[in-house]
Homo-oligomer: A and B are copies of this chain.
Amino acid sequence: MAKLIQEYMDGDTVDSFVLIKNADVRLTKNGKTYLSLVFSDRSDNISGNLWDASDDQVAQFIPGKIVKLEGKRSSYREQPQIQITHLRLANQPGEPDNPGDFMQHAPIKEVELQNELNDYVLAVTQPMWNRLIRKLFTDYHDQFLRYPAAKSNHHAFAGGLSYHSLSIARLANGVVAQYPQINKSLLLAGALLHDLGKVLELSGPVATQYTVPGNLIGHITLLDEQVVLAARELNFDIEDENMILLRHVILAHHGLLEYGSPVRPMIMEAEVLHRLDELDASIEMMSAALDKTETGHFSDRIFGLDNRHFYKPNLEQ
């Protein structure tokens, strides 16, 4: 059984099926064409150059394709890379053909994730919010389940978007049990919906990029617009205070204007949602970094956490 990318050490001979994540056509100093490739599987990414690439190779080795990769692993400026000795498309009988198998996934089965999300939708008992969530979850059903929660920060894996929303709903559930002054329906509605605009901001689960509306408008406003349009379609009065509260919770969830929220939280549920969002994202980022760190050492620096690095202590659970 072939090894995963993460399992190879410097100097190892590599022979595995991997997915092409990026493929740039470049010229060497002598003017020869080569491909600068990034390969991935569910364990990690690794880059490598295919020298003297023919036109055929340039045409077939494109993002989203599964390939059989042979070579040797080394390091260049602290970054591991593959010296490619052989590369071909995985097109033989019996070879893997589902790109989804090469992506990292949420650590929960899709059906379970969906069931648990549905339970939380039911717990939103305010009728306008409930109907709005159901309408938007229906409209964007597939994207919500398959998209990552970000291009590269936290939950940057297939299904990361819905998994992150679920994690916050779980945290929210615990918080409202402890603090009865917080409105459960509103906090859960915010937890479920707040990042749904990312299905319009990002290009999709594979080779994720920002779309033009994603860049020029941003996922917060893109979702607010969808909420308003859906409300109009459902014949809700968008001036109804319940509609204003829901929009506020969504708009304010980044907490600070500097982080792209057009308003700061000004109701309790908005403030709490913002804090739970950051709590889940930070735990996910630290966990991902520490998973790649040996006990007794510091992780790589984490951009999304002010470039801090984290120590992995030797603790029994």
Q: Which of B178, B248, B278 meets A275, CB within 8 Å?
A: B278
CB-based nearest B residue for A247? B217
Q: How many copies of this protein are present in the complex?
A: 6
* CA distance in complex: A229, B279 (Å): 33
CB of A56 within 8 A of chain B? no
Interface hits, A196-248 → B, CB 8 Å: 212-213, 215-218, 220-221, 224-225, 228-229, 232, 238-239, 241, 244-245, 247-248
Cβ contact within 8 Å between A11 and B29: no
B residues in contact with A83, CB < 8 Å: 29-31
* CA distance in complex: A29, B73 (Å): 9
CB of A303 within 8 A of chain B? no
CB of A290 within 8 A of chain B? yes
Interface hits, A66-84 → B, CB 8 Å: 72, 74-76, 83
Cβ contact within 8 Å between A267 and B174: no
B residues in contact with A26, CB < 8 Å: 75
Produce 1/0 per residue, A293-317, CB < 8 A to B: 0001010000001101111111101
Cβ contact within 8 Å between A220 and B175: no
CB-based nearest B residue for A220? B262
Task: Kindly specify which of A132-140, A153-161, A251-259 makes contact with the partner chain.
Answer: A251-259
CB of A92 within 8 A of chain B? no
Task: Kindly specify which of A38-46, A108-116, A281-289 makes contact with the partner chain.
Answer: A281-289
Cβ contact within 8 Å between B215 and A310: no
Given A268-B283, A272-B283, A241 and B11 touching (CB < 8 A)? Answer: no
**Would you list 18 pairs from A and B whose C-beta atoms are within 8 A, ordered by A residue?**
A31-B83, A170-B178, A174-B178, A179-B283, A179-B287, A215-B311, A216-B267, A217-B247, A217-B263, A218-B263, A220-B262, A221-B224, A225-B228, A228-B228, A232-B232, A241-B313, A257-B257, A261-B262
